[in-house]
């Protein structure tokens, strides 16, 4: 895992203390922890109106406290559907015998078809994010030739691995997410525009 990825994960609020150059990407990803979800830069302010309506008085009297509470609420480990990305680390091995997932894609897609799209010697896949939107699964191949910055792919449960899109390398992919400060700026701008109307 390269230094830019580690720095970006830290900037986004992840803990990379256990990351090591001696580990492959799979091992390093599994050693990273987040105590909150992530939001992409195209996020559509889900739930902000309701949060604001429930905390109008605080918004009017103490904006700083309002935003502290907002960030704490949105950047917690909750399941409310706010358009967030859930950080994951589960392995999917549909072509590896004697594994729980073996044969799961039988009749849908063959391993050689995936190899035409996905870089890697074996199609052992690590789900790194889950999302409520489309597509809903983001993964890397554990045998990607670039273990410092593997490619990220997406698929959706409706067309599970029958449709796959290359999302670029991990470094580029992580740039889609907002820091807490960027999140606050988006909400500040939204509420400012809303309250003027």
| b (16+ CB within 10 A) / e for 142-159 | bbbeebbbbbbbbbbeee
Tell me how many domains the chain contains.
1
Q: Are 137 and 144 in contact (CB under 8 A)?
A: no
Q: What is the pLDDT of residues 42-61, one digit of tens each?
A: 999 999 999 999 999 999 99
pLDDT by residue, tens only, the chain of 197 residues? 999 999 999 999 999 999 999 999 999 999 999 999 999 999 999 999 999 999 999 999 999 999 999 999 999 988 889 999 999 999 999 999 999 999 999 999 999 999 999 999 999 999 999 998 899 999 999 999 999 999 999 999 998 999 999 999 999 999 999 999 999 999 999 998 876 54
Give the position of tokens 């500040």.
188
Domain limits for position 47: 1-197
């Amino acid at each position: 895992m390269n230094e830019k990825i580690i720095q970006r994960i830290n900037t986004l609020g992840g803990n990379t203390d256990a990351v090591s150059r001696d580990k492959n990407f799979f091992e390093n990803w599994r050693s990273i922890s987040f105590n909150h979800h992530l939001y992409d830069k195209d996020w559509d302010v889900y739930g902000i109106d309701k949060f604001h309506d429930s905390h109008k008085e605080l918004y009017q009297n103490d904006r700083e406290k309002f935003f502290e509470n907002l960030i704490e609420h949105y950047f917690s480990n909750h399941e409310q559907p706010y358009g967030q990305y859930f950080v994951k680390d589960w392995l999917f091995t549909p072509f590896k015998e004697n594994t729980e997932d073996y044969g799961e894609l039988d009749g849908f897609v063959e391993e050689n078809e995936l190899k035409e799209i996905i870089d890697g010697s074996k199609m052992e896949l690590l789900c790194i994010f889950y999302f409520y939107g489309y597509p809903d699964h983001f993964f890397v191949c554990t045998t990607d030739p670039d273990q410092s910055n593997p490619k990220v792919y997406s698929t959706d449960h409706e067309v599970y691995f029958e449709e796959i899109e290359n999302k670029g390398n991990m470094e580029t992919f992580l740039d889609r997410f907002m820091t807490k400060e960027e999140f606050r700026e988006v909400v500040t701008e939204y509420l400012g525009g809303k309250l003027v109307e």
